[in-house]
Amino acid sequence: MWRRAYDEPVRVRMHEGGLTHFHWADDLYEVTELIKMVAVWHPRARVETQLWHVAAAARTGTERHGMYEIECDHGNWRLVAMWGE
């Protein structure tokens, strides 16, 4: 298994408090499984960060399926890593 680091903006779709889709590199990805989500929230220190580790598949363009790490820091969503075999 390999891991490739990224630092690229993504747009996300949430439904009922969960990440369901994200747009990256002109593709729409559907989240097929939530692997884990970690959130850090501390108002006094102005910390508001979430890290989502999800399995997802591309629905348009190239057919990529894998695991992705997506981070939200103060409302700014970024792809931080992709995992594959």
> Each residue of 14-73: pLDDT tens digit?
999 889 999 998 899 999 999 999 988 777 777 789 999 999 998 876 657 889 999 999
Band (pLDDT 50/70/90 cuts) for residue 7 is: very high
Work out the angle at residue 8's Cα, subtended by the Cα atoms of residues 57 and 50, and round it to the nearest 5 degrees: 80
- Give the E-state strand segments of 1-85 in sequence order: 2-9, 11-15, 18-24, 27-42, 47-58, 65-73, 76-84
Supply the pLDDT for residue 45: 72
Q: Is 59 helix (H, G, I), strand (E, B) or coil?
A: coil
Supply the pLDDT for residue 68: 95
